Structure 1
Amino acid sequence: MKNIAIIPARRGSKRLPNKNNLLFGGIPLIAHSILLAQKNKDIIDEVYVSTNDEAIKKIALEYGVKVIDRPEHLSGEFEPTLTALQHALEVIGDSTVDSVILLQPTNPLRPENLLREAFERYRISDSDSLFTVTRNHQKLGKITSNCFEPYNYTIGQRSQDLEPLYFENGLLYISKSKLIREGEIISENSIPYVVNHIFAGIDIDTQDDFDYAEYLLKKASRLRST
């Protein structure tokens, strides 16, 4: 049975135009996810980029991965990632594909060995999928009728005493292909994998996101060289 990586990268980002093509650390943003998949060849049998963009397609082919030509009706701003994965599996048409590793190009920074360690956790479990989460340490609330209503704390409570809450950080998803074909990436039988790392807060949608991610990348590079 095979494990494949799918990297969905459509054309048409509005807040940061052509973000998947932008040079990040000297290479296209999408290339960071491609290289991560290629670095883990003992886990991932094949790497695919799903796109409707000729520039992204060219980058993917230059890096030696396969391309799924995503139709325009599955490439809109509000189209969920799920349909891109379902389309890719349909095009690939390989019944031996057991698991899909979803790598989003907007999460180019991932902790060392994350994929390997998360996949091992997934492999020994009986879950349908695994997804990464990070603990939130903020005091959250809602504003109703111009009044603030605390959600996860009481006024005066210390932040270190908050009940643990977690957010889906987008760094990594691993799902059974069967689950995706049935219409889900995360199910009731999925397991969260906790990643408490500064990279977990990076999801590039704006220029500010991009600039902060570049700062962290340069800082990490300096630390590795010392």
Structure 2
Amino acid sequence: MKNIAIIPARGGSKRLPNKNILLLGGIPLIAHSILYAQKNSNFIDEIYVSTDDDAIKKIALEYGAIVIDRPDYLSGDLEPTVSALKHVLESIEGNVDNVVLLQATNPLRPQNVLAAAFEVYQKGNYDSLFTVSKNYQKLGKIVNNTFVPFNYELGQRSQDLEPLFFENGLLYIAKASLILQEIIMSENAFPFEVNSIFDHVDIDTQADFEYAEYLFEKLCH
């Protein structure tokens, strides 16, 4: 069985320029996911970075990843992530059984969550898995300038809410055959619950990056 990790990382970020190579704790953002995959080398056989950017490519190679040059037609803002994953699979030799997707913008992850998730994925014989976290907020919609509760009744205590979950982006696992069909999460993908302060780190803006810096300084030393 061959398992690979793929880290897609385009250049040209608009809201936070060059975000994938910004230094977080002295380490380029893209490198955090590479290092995380390397710590799971007992079941991850190869680590690939898909990029269209020379600076990202240079850093990825320095940290020991294999780089797949992403063509321009797969590098647009509206291009789905699965296109890059499929391109990697079509660009490498040999059969791949499972793909672990690690997003560069989610650089902070609980240390053992990938190993635990992969074990569940294998034992359950799932075709895909993704991480979720419980939401504790009282959510609602605004209709005609009126707040309409969505997951609670006015006056209800937070601890009595029916649990809702959100896709936190920490990691995804899927069969390579599914990726080749341009699917990352099937309809019966297993939702692997993770509850960590890192669940809310998804870097897209300067404020997101500063929050990640704060958590890294407090929790990752």
TM range (shorter): over 0.9
Aligned to 2:216: 217
Find the aligned partners of 1:221 and 1:46 in 2 and give their Cα distance. Answer: 25
Aligned to 1:144: 143
SS of the residue aligned with 2:35? helix
SS of the residue aligned with 1:97? coil
Aligned counterparts, 1:127-138, within 5 A: 127-138=126-137
Cα deviations across residues 44-102 of structure 1 (Å, max 9, x unaligned)?
000000000000000011112111110111111121101111111111143x2000000
Aligned to 1:190: 189
Find the aligned partners of 2:120 and 2:99 in 1 and give their Cα distance. Answer: 15
Find the aligned partners of 1:83 and 1:145 in 2 and give their Cα distance. Answer: 40
Q: Which runs of 5+ in 1 are unaligned?
A: none
Instruction: State the AA in 2 paired with 1:7.
Output: I
Aligned to 2:30: 30
TM-score between the two structures when normalised by the length of structure 2: 0.98
- Do residues 43 (structure 1) and 43 (structure 2) align? yes
Task: Point out 4+ residue stretches in structure 1 off by more than 3 angstroms.
Answer: none
TM-score between the two structures when normalised by the length of structure 1: 0.95
- Do residues 157 (structure 1) and 179 (structure 2) align? no
How far the C-alpha of 1:183 sits from its partner, in A, is: 1.9
How far the C-alpha of 1:144 sits from its partner, in A, is: 1.7
How far the C-alpha of 1:221 sits from its partner, in A, is: 3.5
How far the C-alpha of 1:210 sits from its partner, in A, is: 0.5
- Do residues 4 (structure 1) and 4 (structure 2) align? yes
CA RMSD, 1 decimal: 0.9
Aligned to 1:64: 64
Aligned to 1:82: 82
Aligned to 1:115: 114
Find the aligned partners of 1:99 and 1:84 in 2 and give their Cα distance. Answer: 15
Find the aligned partners of 1:188 and 1:107 in 2 and give their Cα distance. Answer: 24
Q: Percent identity?
A: 68
Paired residues in the alignment total: 221
